[in-house]
Structure 1
Amino acid sequence: MGTTGFSADERAAMRQRADEIRATKGLKGAAKKAQEYEACIAAIDALEGVDSEVATLLHRVVTEEAAHLDPKTWYGFPTYAKDGKVIVFYQPASKFDTRYGTVGFQDAAALDDGDMWPTVFAVVAVTDAVEKKLRALVKKASG
C-alpha cells in the first residue's frame, strides 16, 4: 500500500478523532457533554511539563472567562466549543514532537480584526503575562 502523504503522527491523530466521534455516538444532551468533559480532562491529565501547565491554564481561563464553552477533545487536543463549533484548543508540543505547544482559535472564534489577525499562539511558558493575554483572547473569542 502506498503512502498517503500523512506522517504516522498525523494518521494517529485522525484515528483519535474517529475514536472521539465513536465514543459519543448515540449520546445526547447532558450525557454527551459529560463524556466530552471527561475526555477533555483526561487529555489534560495525560500531558506533562509545559504542555500540562498550558493546558491546565487554558482550562482554568475558559472556566473563569467563558464558562458557556463546552470542554471536549478534538484530534485528542483539549478543546472548548460553542454550539458544537470549536472556538479554542491547545495543541501540545508532545503531540507532534514540536518545539512548542500552541493555543489555537478556529474560525468560529470572534477574533476578527481588520483584514488579517493571528489565530494561533506559541506558548513556551506559563507566566502572568501569558495568562493575561490568554484571558483577553478567550474572552473576545468566545463572544
Structure 2
Amino acid sequence: MTSTDSSTSQGFRAEERAAVEEHARELRTEALRTSRADEAAQEARDVLADIAGMSDPDRYGMPAHALDGSVVCYFHSAETFTARYAILGFDDRARLDDEPMGATSSGPTEVTAEVEERIAALVARAVG
C-alpha cells in the first residue's frame, strides 16, 4: 500500500525529521565548542611562550580584568612599551570611589610581595 500522507512523503514523519534536525544542531554545537576550546588552548600556549621570553620584571605580562565584558583594569609592561615604569591602570568602571581623588593608574617600579598584595586587593575591589 502506498501512502500519500504528506507527513511521510519525504521518508520521515515530522517527529523523526525534528529529531534528526535536533541531533544535527547538537553536533554543530559540540563542534563549535571543540574548535573554541582548541583555539583557546592554542592562544594560552602562545601567551605562555611570549611570557617565557620576557625579562623577569615584565614576566607578569599584560593582564586585564573585565567587568560585564569591558576592561576595568590593565597592566602595561614597561619593557614592552619601552617606558620607565610599568602601568597598572583602572577604567572609570572600576569600583575605587572611596576617596575624593583616587588614583586611576600607578607605576610600580618593582613587584614585591607587598606590591603584589596591594595590586590583588585593588583588582578585587575594581571588579568585585
TM-score, with length taken from structure 1: 0.52
Alignment correspondent of 1:101: 86
Deviations 1:60-112 (A, max 9, x none): xxxxxxxxxxxxxxxxx432212210022110111221111111111221112
Cα distance, 1:37 vs. partner?
Answer: 6.4
Cα distance, 1:43 vs. partner?
Answer: 5.1
Matched, 1:50 2:50: no
Which has the greater radius of gyration? 2
For 2:102 and 2:41, the matched residues in 1 are separated by 33
Long gaps (5+) in structure 1? 1-26, 57-76
Matched, 1:110 2:115: no
Equivalent residue letter for 1:117 = G
Cα distance, 1:35 vs. partner?
Answer: 6.9
Matches within 5 A, 1:44-83: 44-52=51-59, 55=60, 77-83=62-68
How many residues get paired? 94
Long gaps (5+) in structure 2? 1-31
Alignment correspondent of 2:36: 31
Instruction: Report the RMSD for the aligned CA atoms in angstroms.
Output: 3.1
For 2:105 and 2:47, the matched residues in 1 are separated by 20
Alignment correspondent of 2:105: 120
Aligned residues of 1:50 and 1:124 also touching (Cα < 8 A):
no
Q: Which has the higher contact order (CA 8 A, sep 6+)?
A: 1
Q: 1:78 to 1:136 in 2, by over 3 A?
A: closer
Matched position secondary structure for 1:140: helix
Q: 1:129 to 1:114 in 2, by over 3 A?
A: closer
For 2:63 and 2:50, the matched residues in 1 are separated by 6
